[in-house]
Amino acid sequence: MTNSGPKIMVIGSINRDLVVRCHTLPAPGQTLLAESSTEICGGKGANQAVAAARAGGQVRMIGRVGDDAFADRLVANLEQAQIESNHVLRTDGCASGLAVVAVDDSGQNSIMVVPGSNGQVSVADIENARLAIESSSVVLLQLEIPLDTVVAAIGMARSAGVPVIVDPAPAPDEWLDQLFHVDLLCPNESEAAAFVGGPVETLKQVESAARAIHEKGAVNVAITLGDRGTLLFDGNQTQLVEPFPVHAVDSTAAGDAFAGAVAVYWAEHSNLVDAVRYGNAAGALSASREGAQPSIAQRDEIEKLWRSAK
């Protein structure tokens, strides 16, 4: 790794993404002719690792690939992004993770994920990486790997005094209490709605959801609202952190770009409001470009947009 920034440990999924572009997303039972298809490296874990690396972090990753033809490409992609892959393991008799992503002309997307080897990331994998986790500046997690593995990583990091950020995507069928015992939980509107079991649309509803998540144990809560910005609740007060207006093309990795950039800035400066603002800039740049990892901005691009609005 050549970056000299904070040590960010990303624990999560590594996928190959099949991205299909279409004028509109298909309704149930509907068949559409799409415009194009592209196969690229993705997965929320890998996307966030790339985002953190491009934002200036020294990034290490824990995850798994399969024993298929795409596995070598997935690992090489991480290494090309200057991400240490010593704890990315091969899984015999298992395919690598796959995501099928449909993107319409407005930039909205619909995603189906086949976990593959991501479902084999184990508590033992976390234990075997204990030293790397405990020496990190921040641990960043998502929910495309088994929840008991996520919980084990949260407990290990927090016991060592390492701040933990969890992007609770995809929203689980069962919200384990341990998932909330983190320093920052950053759901989007739909994930927050899944937690509260009702709509999260108005700012009042968003604030209510943030408070409910905080009461479950999250020290800080940042609910991302797309082109409305991000609502941050620190346990005492709420603040709507303004968005950066862009022409949205593809929102696929915007949340991942946000999480990776927040992790790096927060570790560097210990200012969560500015970290969220920095993350908003990274997310906006990603949404203005096509693809997942190809859309993720470099540090100088994020800083240029971030400074333009100060």
As annotated, the active-site residues are 256
H helical segments located in 216-271: 254-269
Edge-to-edge order in the sheet of strand 138-141 = 83-90, 58-65, 7-11, 138-141, 164-166, 184-185, 220-224, 230-233, 238-241
Q: What is the dihedral of CA 27, 32, 35, 39, to 10 degrees?
A: 70
Q: Is the peptide bond before 170 cis (omega within 30 degrees of 0)?
A: yes
Measured distance CA(61)–CA(14) in Å, rounded: 10
**Residue 101 DSSP class:** E
**Do the Cβ atoms of 9 and 140 come closer than 8 Å?**
yes
Nearest to 297 by CA among 244, 253, 263: 253
The answer to whether the beta carbons of residues 82 and 1 sit under 8 Å apart is yes
Nearest to 189 by CA among 160, 227, 156, 157: 227
Beta bridge partners of 28: none
